[in-house]
Homo-oligomer: A and B are copies of this chain.
Amino acid sequence: MNILVAGLGLIGASIAKTLKKNTNHHVLGWNRTESVTAKALADGAIDETGAIEDLIPLADITIINFYTEAIVPFVLENRNKFKKGSIVTDSCGIKTKICRTLEKEEFDFTFIGAHPMAGREVSGYDASLPTLFDNASFICTPTNAPKAKTDTLVELAKEMGFKRTVVTTPEHHDEMIAFTSQIAHVLACSYVLSPLAPQHPGFSAGSYRDVSRVARINGEMWSELFIANKEPLIREIDDLTGNLLKFREAIESENSSLLIELMDRANKIKEEIG
Contacts and interface: CB of A to CB of B under 8 A. Distances in A.
Interface of A: 117-119, 121, 136-137, 139, 164, 166, 173, 175-177, 179-181, 183-208, 210-220, 222-224, 226-227, 230, 233-234, 236-241, 243-248, 251-252, 254, 256, 259-267, 269-271, 273-274
Contacts of A274: 201
Contacts of A189: 243, 247, 262-263, 266-267
A137 to B, nearest CB: 5
Contact of A197 (B136, B188, B193, B273): B273
Given A179-B197, A227-B259, 8 more contacts: A118-B206, A173-B203, A181-B207, A187-B191, A194-B243, A218-B267, A227-B251, A241-B244
A265 to B, nearest CB: 6
Contact of A270 (B216, B238, B271): B216
Number of copies: 2
Contacts of A179: 194, 196-197, 200, 203, 208
A226 B211 contact: no
A241 B241 contact: yes
